[in-house]
């Protein structure tokens, strides 16, 4: 049983469904990566908080109060904007290498031969080794065939291989 032909609308619907599935897969991958990044950030923050409690690197302020290194950055005006802690998942992706397109060599165009000028058709009687035995004008085909037949019948013990063929040659 032959397959039923698919029209444009069905083909389009199949394509859109395929694109939707691919988009869902991509979003699922992104959300997994984002969860991993968030988990890593939480671990880093937990270790930072544990380190902050045990820091002996505190510096005395002008008033004599202990100030943590993090507070010094705030005093200098170097504050980190909110939301910068999150790492963009697109930056984590390795850049895709662009494939170098293979250069297609252009085929050389066939050069036209030099114009030879006007040609004329003649009948040529050829011998055993493809050599020309006789040449007749185009309107004397019967004479050329008779000549080839005569050459073939001259020596009956040898098989005659003489034949007639039309050839175009330049007019002199």
pLDDT of residue 68: 52
Instruction: Check: CB of residue 162 under 8 Å from CB of residue 126.
Output: yes
pLDDT of residue 140: 95
- Model-wide pTM > 0.85: no
- Residue-wise pLDDT for 64-78, tens only, equals 555 555 555 454 554
Residues sharing a CB contact under 8 Å with residue 153, sequence separation 6 or more, in sequence order: 160
- Residue-wise pLDDT for 31-45, tens only, equals 888 887 777 776 666
pLDDT of residue 115: 75
pLDDT of residue 85: 57
Intervals of the chain under pLDDT 50: 54-59, 73, 75, 78, 83
Neighbouring C-alpha atoms within 13 Å toward the C-beta of 85: 11
pLDDT of residue 17: 93
Ordered by start, the domain boundaries in the chain are: 10-50, 119-170
């Amino acid at each position: 049983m032959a397959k039923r032909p698919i029209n444009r609308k069905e083909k389009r619907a199949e394509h859109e469904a395929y694109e939707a599935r691919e988009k869902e897969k991509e979003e699922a991958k992104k959300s997994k990566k984002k969860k991993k990044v968030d988990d890593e950030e939480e671990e880093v923050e937990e270790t930072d908080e544990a380190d902050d409690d045990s820091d002996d690197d505190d510096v005395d302020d002008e008033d004599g109060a202990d100030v943590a290194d993090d507070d010094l950055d705030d005093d200098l005006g170097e504050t980190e904007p909110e939301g910068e802690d999150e790492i963009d998942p697109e930056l984590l992706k390795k850049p895709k290498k662009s494939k170098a397109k293979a250069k297609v060599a252009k085929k050389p165009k066939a050069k036209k031969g030099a114009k030879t000028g006007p040609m004329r058709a003649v009948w040529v009687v050829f011998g055993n080794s493809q050599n020309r035995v006789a040449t007749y004008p185009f309107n004397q085909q019967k004479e050329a065939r008779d000549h080839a037949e005569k050459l073939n019948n001259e020596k009956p013990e040898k098989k005659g291989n003489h034949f007639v063929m039309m050839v175009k040659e330049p007019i002199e």
